[in-house]
Amino acid sequence: MKTLICIPLFLLILTTGCKQYYTVADFEEKTSTHQTVAVLPFEMVYTGIPPKDLTEEDIQRIEISESKAFQSSFFNAILTSTRRGKDQLRVDLQHYSKTLDLLEQNGIEIKDSWSKDPAELAKLLGVDAVVKAQIEKRRYMSDMASYGIEAGTQIIAAISRNRVLPYVNSRNKKVKTGFALVNQEDGNALWSISYDCDANWRSTSEDIIENINARSARKFPYRID
C-alpha cells in the first residue's frame, strides 16, 4: 500500500520559471562529455516544533542521519529505475559512500555541504555534475536501522511520542521536495523537479523516504534512448 500521495508543487529549486519539471533545452549537448555524477547529502529543513525531550545534539544527529538516508535511498532509486534493461544511464553514479568519504577528507561536514556551492563540490568530488536536493517537513524520523544508521533509545522514544500526535492538519503531513542536477562546468541547473507529498508518518522511515525519492528518480536524465 502506498504511503505517499504526490501533488505537483510549481516551484523548482535552482531554476527559473513556474514549472514542476525542468530540463535544459540543450541537455544532450551540454552533457555529451559527462561521465560521472554524484548525489550530495540532502539538505533537511524542519518547519515543526522539535520534541521537547530532544537536545540540540540529538537534533544534529537526526538531521545528519536523515540526510545520509535520503542520499543513499536516492542513489539506489536511480539504479532501480534502470531494471530489466530499460532506461539505462549513459553515465556512472559515484557511490554515496565515496562521496561522503571525499567530503570528510576535505574537512566538509554533512551539514556544511548543504550551503556549499554545488559546482565547487562537484570539482572536489571529481564528477561532472551533482544532484543537490532539499527536503522540508514537520516531523523527524527515528528508525534508520535499514540504512545502517543507529539512533539512540532516547531519540527513538522522543520521536515516537511526537509521531503519534494527531496529524489531521494537512500541513503536518506535507513534505516539500526539490531536486536539481548542477553542472560542474558553469554551476547551472541542467535538470530539476519539485513536488509536495502527503506523508503517512505511521509508516516506516524507509517507506516514506523511498516513496519521496521514487518519483524524481524515474525522471532522472542521462537515459539511453
CATH value of 4-218 in 2.115.10.20, 3.40.50.10610, 3.30.565.10, 3.30.930.10: 3.40.50.10610
> Among 9, 22, 62, which Cα is nearest to 192's?
22
Q: pLDDT at residue 77 above 50?
A: yes
The identity of residue 144, as a single letter, is M
- What does pLDDT average to over the chain? 81
In sequence order, what DSSP letters do the residues of 16-50 get, joined into one string? -SS-SEEE-TTHHHHTTT--EEEEPPPEEEE-SPP
- Tell me the Cα Rg of the chain: 17
Q: Give the rounded percent of residues in the chain with a pLDDT score beyond 90.
A: 53
The answer to whether 205 and 142 have CB atoms below 8 angstroms apart is yes
Per residue in 98-137, pLDDT (tens digit) is 999 999 999 999 999 999 999 999 999 999 999 999 999 8
Q: How far apart are CA 132 and CA 127, in angstroms?
A: 13
User: By three-state DSSP, how is residue 190 classified?
Assistant: strand
Q: Give the rounded percent of residues in the chain with a pLDDT score beyond 70.
A: 77
What is the domain partition of the chain in residue ranges?
4-218
Block residue for cell numbers 537536545: 55
pLDDT at 11: 34
pLDDT at 172: 55
More confident of the two residues 21 and 133: 133
